[in-house]
Structure formats: C-alpha cells, structure tokens
C-alpha cells in the first residue's frame, strides 16, 4: 500500500490511550496533534471514538497512531475493556492549573496498569502530560520533583504541553512512539492476527434470505 516499495516499508498500527480527569484537555491535545486545531470552547467529546495520525517515522517505517479519547462521559472511571484492550501506549494528562487533576494521575496510572498489559506482562509505556502550561502561573522549578514522580509511578517521562500554543505535543508523541517501537521489536503481531476476522459493512442488498430466524 505504500507505493511501489511495499516490501521495504514496515507498517505499524498502534493504539494509544489518552486518559485523565475531566477537562484537562485530552481532546484538545488529540485535535491539536492530529487535526492541527485548537478550540477554546470546551465541550465533552461526543461521537468521536479515536483519531488517526499517520506518521512517516523514517524511510522504512510508517506508523499509524490511533489515539483513543476516553469518551468524556466515562468520567466516572469505568471504562470498558473495549477501550483498554490491545493498547500499546498511553498519555495520562493533567491540568497544571488544577492541582486536583494531578492528584488523580496516580489513580489513573494504577487503573491503566491493572487493566492492560503488554503481551509479556509488563505495563504499557506511558507518558505524563502537564497540559495547559501556557496558563501556568508559578514558575517554580519542579522538574526534579516531576522526574521523581515519574520514576515512582512508572511513567517513561513527562512533558509540559499546551494544546493551545502547540507546545511539546509532537515531541511527547515522538517520545512515546519511540518507546513503543522499541517494545514492539519482534512482537509477532502478524502471526497471531492472521485468522482474526473484522466485520464490515456490506452491500445490504439481497439480504432477504436471512429472514428465517
């Protein structure tokens, strides 16, 4: 599918979760990253499942990133397994202007680790995003604190991001994908998925026969 040099180009499809408290900017980050958009107006996310970002990682690698938003409505923390299953990476987002959203980070991380694991049983790589850094008031340098926090809670790292000013969104994503690719080496993706069936919409014509039940 990648032009003529199909054999040389490796394609990956990665499902990445974006989680965090209500209103921390999960959807904004996704939209900034995938659609290059930002909206001041907050609305709970409706009708959008995930966004697809295609990355030409290098000349031999094409990465399709599926960014799964938690439907804002799952805010009570009861996501379905459908949401978590087969995810290979995650962003946990908090809002630097609201301390309570940071306090919830470890809960989200814990929930994440309990619900999804890599094939080898280890937790999926996750990156912490300190979003809305454009609105940050105190400039107290908490870098080492954050580094420590990440080490303790098992994040690969953290980024100060702003969906509004487009700060660090691409960088954070690149960082996560690097780690996913490193993990993915040698995972027998194709082998196990060979006989899986996806259902598709068909031409529903001539469907009259199935009326017997």
142 binding another protein? (CB under 8 A): no
Q: Select from 17, 11, 139, 145 the least CA-distant residue to 74.
A: 17
- Please identify, using beta-carbon distances, which residue of 186 and 194 lies nearer to another protein: 194
The residue within the footprint of another protein, chosen from 8, 13, 136, 171 (CB under 8 A), is 13
- Please identify, using beta-carbon distances, which residue of 43 and 137 lies nearer to another protein: 43
C-alpha 200/C-alpha 8 separation (Å) is 29
Give the H/E segment covering residue 103. Answer: helix 99-103
C-alpha 210/C-alpha 213 separation (Å) is 7
- Please identify, using beta-carbon distances, which residue of 76 and 140 lies nearer to another protein: 76
Tokens of 193: 């998925």
- Please identify, using beta-carbon distances, which residue of 82 and 182 lies nearer to another protein: 82
Site string for another protein, 143-182 (x = CB under 8 A): ---------------------------x---x--------
Residues 177-196 that bind another protein (CB under 8 A): 192-196
Q: How far is the CB of 22 from another protein (least distance, A)?
A: 7
Residues 46-75 that bind another protein (CB under 8 A): 46-56, 62, 64, 71, 73-75
- Please identify, using beta-carbon distances, which residue of 144 and 203 lies nearer to another protein: 203
Q: 109, 150 in Cβ contact below 8 A?
A: no
**Residues in Cβ contact with 148 at an 8 Å cutoff, skipping those fewer than 6 apart:** none
Q: Select from 12, 2, 4 the least CA-distant residue to 186.
A: 12
Residue whose structure tokens are 């080492």: 144
Site string for another protein, 76-115 (x = CB under 8 A): xxxxxxxx-x------------------x--xx--x----
Residue whose structure tokens are 């996310």: 45
Residues 22-41 that bind another protein (CB under 8 A): 22, 31, 34-41
Q: How many residues bind another protein (CB under 8 A)?
A: 72
Q: Select from 190, 180, 61 the least CA-distant residue to 118.
A: 180
Q: How far is the CB of 212 from another protein (least distance, A)?
A: 5
Q: Distance from CA of residue 86 to its chain's centroid? A: 12
Strands 126-131, 10-20: pairing is unpaired
Q: How far is the CB of 132 from another protein (least distance, A)?
A: 16
Q: How far is the CB of 141 from another protein (least distance, A)?
A: 28
């Amino acid at each position: 599918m990648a032009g003529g040099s199909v054999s040389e180009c490796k394609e990956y499809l990665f499902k990445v979760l974006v989680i965090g408290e209500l209103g921390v900017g999960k959807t904004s980050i996704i939209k900034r990253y995938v659609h290059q958009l930002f909206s001041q107006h907050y609305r709970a996310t409706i009708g959008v499942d995930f966004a697809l970002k295609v990355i030409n990682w290098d000349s031999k690698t094409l990465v399709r990133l599926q960014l799964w938003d938690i439907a804002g409505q799952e805010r009570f923390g009861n996501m379905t397994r459908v949401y978590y299953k087969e995810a290979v990476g995650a962003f946990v987002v908090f809002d630097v202007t609201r301390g309570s959203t940071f306090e919830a980070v470890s809960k989200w991380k814990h929930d994440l680790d309990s619900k999804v694991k890599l094939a080898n049983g280890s937790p999926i790589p996750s990156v912490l995003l300190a979003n809305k850094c454009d609105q940050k008031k105190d400039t107290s340098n908490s870098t080492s604190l954050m580094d420590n926090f990440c080490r303790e809670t098992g994040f690969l790292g953290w980024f100060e991001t702003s969906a509004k000013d487009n700060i660090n969104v691409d960088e954070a994503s690149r960082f996560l994908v690097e780690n996913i690719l490193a993990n993915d080496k040698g995972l027998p993706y194709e082998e196990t998925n060979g006989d899986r069936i996806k259902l598709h919409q068909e031409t529903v014509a001539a469907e009259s026969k199935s009326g017997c039940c």
